[in-house]
Amino acid sequence: KTHTAFGYATQVCILDEKGRVERVVAAHDVGRVVNPTLCEGQIEGSVHMGLGYALTEEFPTDPETGFPTNTTLRSLGILRAKDVPEIEVQLVEVPQPRSPYGIKGVGEIGLVPTAGAVAGALYAHDGIRRTRLPMTDAPAATASVPKSRR
Query: Active site residue: 22, 58, 86, 108, which one?
Result: 108
Annotated catalytic residue 108: yes
Separation CA 145–CA 137 (nearest Å): 10
Please say whether the beta carbons of 53 and 133 come within 8 A.
Answer: yes
Beta bridge partners of 21: 15
Count CB atoms within 10 A of the CB of residue 7.
19
Contacts of 80 (CB under 8 A, 6+ apart): 74, 144
Query: Which residues are annotated as catalytic?
Result: 108
